[in-house]
Each structure stands twice: as structure tokens, then as C-alpha cells.
């Protein structure tokens, strides 16, 4: 039996929970421009717990989120997420000194169903909503954030920031048009997330805010995707969002 299969079997026998983070990042660099972690979400499709940086209530603070993560690791729980190893794992260590051992991680991007979809599309990097769509899993919370981000593209200061970032990408060999589109899309999304987070904080962490829906929405999607990926059947064609 291959070592990868042994690890998968061992993880299957342990409790698995989704972990996701949101960060303050209004730059064009997906990793380098992160300033802090603003929230940690832990749970599954039935229940999601959100801890945030500016919580006035102690049991929802990032400190409590860190305690929860360390407790789950101590219990042998597998922490899963889409892009977990490239995002959550290094940023939790960088900002909150939380180390998640390899044995306690399951990155959905490493699962066979996602690998097959990468081969099918010829693309190594697929967004969460693209994979969810292939499995018929709604991801409307992401569309709502995109709608908030779209008007921000008209702000002169954001356009100037995107143009400067695009120049740096062109210097690295990127196409000029794709550089500007990538920089602008990334920057406005970061601003939209931060603005929605600030509104969420002002409303005391209310569950009906855009940020809350966006943050816990990823947990729900990722858990449903995990369940789908664990099934032996191939991906289904996308079904309408409900």
C-alpha cells in the first residue's frame, strides 16, 4: 500500500473539521500583502464558529480561536480546507504562532477529484467556486462579495494602485492586459472584504452581515466539497444554485 493511501486511510478514521481564515489584504500579492488575520472559521456544513480580531466578546476572539485549533490538534483532529497548506497553514504560523502538523492537515486541492478536474481543464489553480460548481455545490456567498467589489473598480486610488501593481507583474513577464485585470480584481476583492469586515465589527459580529455570510460560507462549501470528494463517483455537471 502506498504511503499516501495509508495517510488517507488514517485520516478517514479521525474526526475532520474545516478551518478557514480571512485576512486584511488590500494589495495585489496573495501572500506578501497580508497584514493580519481578521477571522478564523471552524466547523462543517451544519455548524460554523467564527472568531474575529476585533471581538468585544471574549469567546469569539482570535485568542479563543487559537485555543480551539490547538485543542483540535491535541485531540488528533484533521483540519481540512481548500488551499489550506498554501494559505491557512503558513499565515496562522506567521501571525498567530500556530503550527498545524502535516499529519493534522488535509488540503482539498490534493484530493483525487480536484486533481482530475485540474487535468480536465488544463489548469493547476482552480478557485473554490469552480470546483464546487463542478460538483453542484452552490457558492452564492462569493458572488455577493464580487458584487460588492465591482463598484470599487471605479475608485481612482484603487485604479492607481492596480496600475502600479500591474507594472510589477509585467516586469516579471506577465501579459499587460491580464496583469491589470488580475491586479484590479485582487485589490478590489481585498477592499470589499475589509469594508464588509468593518461593517461586521460595527454591528457586533452580526450573522446577517455580508462578511459573516462570506466567511462561514466558505466553511459550508468546503465541507460539502469534502463530502463529495470522498465519494467514489466522478464529478457531476453543475446544478443551479438554490
The Cα 118–Cα 130 span in angstroms is: 11
Predicted confidence at residue 58, as pLDDT, reads: 82
Contact between residue 100 and residue 79 where contact means Cβ atoms under 8 Å apart: yes
Predicted confidence at residue 13, as pLDDT, reads: 53
> Among residues 143, 134, 181, which one has the least CA distance to residue 162?
181
Predicted confidence at residue 235, as pLDDT, reads: 54
Predicted confidence at residue 232, as pLDDT, reads: 78
48-52 β-sheet, strand order: 48-52, 36-43, 16-24, 78-81, 105-107
Outline where the chain has alpha helix (H). Answer: 3-12, 62-74, 88-96, 112-121, 128-134, 140-149, 156-171, 176-202, 210-229
pTM assigned to the model: 0.89
The Cα 67–Cα 44 span in angstroms is: 18
Predicted confidence at residue 241, as pLDDT, reads: 36
pLDDT tens track for 131-166: 999 999 999 999 999 999 999 999 999 999 999 999
Contact between residue 142 and residue 128 where contact means Cβ atoms under 8 Å apart: yes
Per-residue pLDDT of the chain (242 residues; tens, 9 = 90+): 444 444 444 445 569 999 999 999 999 999 999 999 999 999 999 999 999 999 977 889 999 999 999 999 999 999 999 999 999 999 999 999 999 999 999 999 999 999 999 999 999 889 999 999 999 999 999 999 999 999 999 999 999 999 999 999 999 999 988 999 999 999 999 999 999 999 999 999 999 999 999 999 999 999 999 999 998 765 554 433 32
Amino acid at each position: 500500500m502506498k504511503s499516501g493511501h495509508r495517510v488517507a486511510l488514517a485520516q478517514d478514521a479521525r474526526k475532520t473539521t474545516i478551518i478557514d481564515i480571512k485576512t486584511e489584504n488590500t494589495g495585489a500579492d496573495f501572500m506578501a500583502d497580508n497584514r493580519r488575520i481578521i477571522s478564523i472559521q471552524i466547523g462543517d456544513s451544519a455548524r460554523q464558529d467564527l472568531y474575529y480580531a476585533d471581538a468585544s466578546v471574549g469567546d469569539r476572539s482570535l485568542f479563543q480561536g487559537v485555543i480551539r485549533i490547538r485543542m483540535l490538534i491535541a485531540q488528533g483532529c484533521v483540519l481540512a480546507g481548500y488551499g489550506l497548506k498554501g494559505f491557512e497553514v503558513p499565515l496562522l504560523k506567521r501571525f498567530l504562532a500556530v503550527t498545524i502538523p502535516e499529519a493534522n492537515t488535509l488540503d482539498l486541492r490534493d484530493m483525487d477529484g480536484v486533481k482530475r478536474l485540474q487535468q480536465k481543464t488544463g489548469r493547476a489553480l482552480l478557485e473554490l467556486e469552480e470546483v464546487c460548481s463542478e460538483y453542484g455545490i452552490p457558492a452564492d456567498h462569493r458572488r455577493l462579495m464580487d458584487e460588492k467589489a465591482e463598484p470599487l473598480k471605479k475608485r481612482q486610488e484603487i485604479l492607481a494602485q492596480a496600475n502600479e501593481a500591474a507594472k510589477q507583474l509585467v516586469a516579471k513577464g506577465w501579459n499587460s492586459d491580464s496583469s491589470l485585470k488580475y491586479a484590479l480584481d485582487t485589490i478590489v476583492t481585498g477592499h470589499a472584504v475589509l469594508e464588509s469586515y468593518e461593517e461586521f465589527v460595527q454591528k457586533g459580529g452580526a450573522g446577517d452581515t455580508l462578511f459573516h455570510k462570506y466567511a462561514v460560507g466558505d466553511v459550508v462549501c468546503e465541507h460539502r466539497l469534502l463530502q463529495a470528494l470522498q465519494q467514489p463517483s466522478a464529478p457531476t455537471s453543475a446544478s443551479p444554485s438554490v
